Amino acid sequence: MSIIKNKNIRLSNPKTKDFLADAFYPETESKLPLVIFVHGYKGYKDWGAWNLMAEKFAEAGFFFVKFNFSHNGTTLVTSTEFDDLEAFGNNNYSKELSDLGFVIDHFIKDPKVDEQKIILMGHSRGGGVSIIKTCEDIRINGLITLASVDTLERFPKGEGLEEWKNKGVYYVENARTKQEMPHYYQFYEDFANNPHRFDVERSMEMAKAHVLIVHGTKDDGVNVKNAEHLHILNPNSEIFLIENANHTFGSKEPWEEDNLPEDLSLVVKKCVEFINNKIVNE
């Protein structure tokens, strides 16, 4: 089966700014389920083994989309480097949800897509954003969380929050690039002004889609207890824990192998099985 790889599609969200997306899908006359991958904090669409993962989903018969959030720090020219730290500092959850909605609206119109079969798959913070969007958008039939957070309230507290407010910015070092990544105080203000909308727990309880929760037991970025909590909040969900898997399921940046890491391969296999059983063949 021939796989189409349509890379770096330019999308223009008037509420944020232009960003890039990829679409991987098999060459076929059939309409395909749409799977949209949502990257996490300090992530981007071409990080690690995400391209290999996209190929596997396309080979399994899906129209697989991944994209860079408009304010994730990458640019239209350099989609794998944080060359726009000003944009990164001005990112917030409202912008990410706007971008995700724009991606859904754009690709659901593609003639190759079955608009009755829409699945979001979010990694880490992208999982939390995907949970909220699934609650908000009745078009979404499936939700898959990969190493997801169970809350988006992940900010400095107490004196740290007060210092952030007074200075207007705080910095987090990127362990890989050694860049000092800025967060402007507007990020917290956006969250504080939308507490009901950004309530991941409430959204998980109310989600009507089929839900699969995937997490590694040795995740040092987001503890596996987050997955167990999400499962409690939505008892109809399915939880799949991978023994000894880390936060990125064995992938890293850069990923120079020709094959997926073992744990991420297991993730893909489980996700494909879930989508086929719960959405495609129901």
Tens digit of each residue's pLDDT (9 = 90 or more) over 54-65: 999 999 999 999
Quote the pLDDT of residue 46: 98
State the average pLDDT over residues 128-157. Answer: 98
For the chain, domains (ranges, CATH) are: 3-158+199-280 (3.40.50.1820)
Quote the pLDDT of residue 27: 97
Provide the angle, in degrees to the nearest 10, between the axes of the packed helices 125-136 and 93-107. 60
Banded pLDDT at 196 (limits 50, 70, 90): very high
State the average pLDDT over residues 218-230. Answer: 98
Q: What average pLDDT does the structure give for the chain?
A: 98
**Dist CA 104 CA 8 (whole Å):** 16
Banded pLDDT at 193 (limits 50, 70, 90): very high
Banded pLDDT at 282 (limits 50, 70, 90): confident
Q: What is the pLDDT of residues 10-54, one digit of tens each?
A: 999 999 999 999 999 999 999 999 999 999 999 999 999 999 999
State the average pLDDT over residues 148-161. Answer: 97
Report the 10 Å Cβ neighbour count for 173: 10
Check whether 73 has a pLDDT greater than 90. Answer: yes
Please answer whether residues 44 and 68 qualify as being in contact, where contact means their C-beta atoms are separated by less than 8 angstroms.
Answer: yes
Check whether 71 has a pLDDT greater than 90. Answer: yes
State percent of the chain over pLDDT 90. Answer: 99
Check whether 1 has a pLDDT greater than 80. Answer: no
Lowest-confidence segment of 222-226, 248-252, 278-282 by average pLDDT:
278-282
Banded pLDDT at 204 (limits 50, 70, 90): very high
Quote the pLDDT of residue 212: 98
Check whether 177 has a pLDDT greater than 90. Answer: yes
Banded pLDDT at 106 (limits 50, 70, 90): very high
Quote the pLDDT of residue 255: 98
State the average pLDDT over residues 140-168. Answer: 97
